Chain A
């Protein structure tokens, strides 16, 4: 009964390729996020999205784009992958109008770019 699920868990690909990571939440939350955890375990927000508003961290390259077919899904598309994109990507969700701030995370997707 996973609350926030991501696929794939592991992704190994070549530089220059385009890849997607999918995320689904069954908590009924209205806001979803993507975080990047680098090799030093630093957790950095990439995007925040609900059905009205997309907030993009300005440091995120435009090769990264979130796509949300509905409020239960927020997929991450990455074009022209680079070595520095290797990281663990975490999807999360929260209810903006409810108890403040608690995030529910997926298990992470480890991306390795060769």
Chain B
């Protein structure tokens, strides 16, 4: 069975501070991991995926298979980063992503 754990329901930081949203997963095969973001009153949208190894809006995430983690990081948070962030996992033949329970990021001015 695949599982995604986001231990923090809420993360509150000040503008300019570093941000790390934690994501741990449980999956026996080779996972594909994603971060989705939901801004206030908007639809969920893909932020980044581990296979792309890209940086989007200053966010990066590295897959650590040893620690089964895929933490989302940004060195300097901006107010517009305030949103709900979901970590998601797709595994093997299942294309149905499993989502973590989400972390609400609030960036104060």
Q: Which residues of A contact B90 (CB under 8 A)?
A: 100-101
Per-position 1/0 for A81-113, Cβ under 8 A of B: 000000000101010100011110111100000
CB pair A101 B86 closer than 8 Å: no
CB pair A45 B96 closer than 8 Å: yes
CB pair A100 B43 closer than 8 Å: no
A41 at interface by CB-CB < 8 Å: yes
Q: Which residues of A contact B96 (CB under 8 A)?
A: 33, 45, 48, 55
Query: Which 10 interchain pairs have the tightest Cβ spacing?
Result: A101-B90, A43-B99, A105-B44, A105-B43, A42-B101, A48-B96, A107-B43, A41-B102, A96-B95, A101-B32
A31 at interface by CB-CB < 8 Å: yes
Are A100 and B86 also in contact (CB < 8 A) when A41-B102, A41-B104 are?
no
Q: Which residues of A contact B44 (CB under 8 A)?
A: 43, 90, 92, 103, 105
CB pair A31 B99 closer than 8 Å: no
* Interface residues of B, count at CB 8 A: 22
Question: Which partner residue on chain B sits nearest A38 by CB separation?
Answer: B101
* Interface residues of A, count at CB 8 A: 24
Question: Which partner residue on chain B sits nearest A57 by CB separation?
Answer: B96
Residues of B within 8 A of A (CB): 32, 34, 36, 42-46, 49, 51, 84, 86, 88, 90, 95-99, 101-102, 104
A52 at interface by CB-CB < 8 Å: no
A60, B45: Cα distance in complex, Å:
24
A105, B101: Cα distance in complex, Å:
17
Question: Which partner residue on chain B sits nearest A43 by CB separation?
Answer: B99
Q: Which residues of A contact B51 (CB under 8 A)?
A: 100
A90, B43: Cα distance in complex, Å:
8
A111, B84: Cα distance in complex, Å:
20
Which one of A42, A90, A103 lies within 8 Å of B97 (CB-CB)?
A103
